Amino acid sequence: MKKTKLRINTTAAILDIINAILFTTSWFVVTFMAFSESFSGGDGSQTSGVGAFFYAMAAIGLIIHIIGLVKSKKAGISIIGHILGIIGCACFAITALLAFPAIVLLIIASVFCFKQQSV
């Protein structure tokens, strides 16, 4: 029995690690930008631009995990990592206040996506 390894699972796992790091820094970056912009008399466009970057990364992670879920299901590989990744990215995409649960879910999802265990 040949063990199937999918490249999308490795890509999703690496993106989960990157997103976990980005979501951790998002609190500090957005807060710093908000204070910096308020002291300089800005209109809020810099802060919203930075926030949009983090939301875009969550959306990319969501898309990668949905594609990986479909491909893993067809290949007979465990889909637990992708389900956790979808929930984690969706948590952050709903609101950045859920960044901590998203970070935890993405780290666990990364482990399961790297394992690529057959069902």
Q: Sketch the domain layout of the chain as residue ranges.
A: 7-115
Question: What is the model's pLDDT at position 44?
Answer: 67
% the chain with pLDDT above 90: 69
Q: Please give the single-letter amino acid code of residue 42.
A: G
Please write down the long-range contacts of 116-119, taking CB distance under 8 Å and 24 or more positions apart.
116/4, 116/5, 116/6, 116/9, 116/77, 116/78, 117/77, 117/78, 118/3, 118/4, 118/76, 118/77, 118/78, 119/76, 119/77, 119/78
C-alpha 18: how far from chain center: 8
pLDDT tens-digit readout, 25-38:
998 998 888 888 87
Average of per-residue pLDDT across 85-105: 95
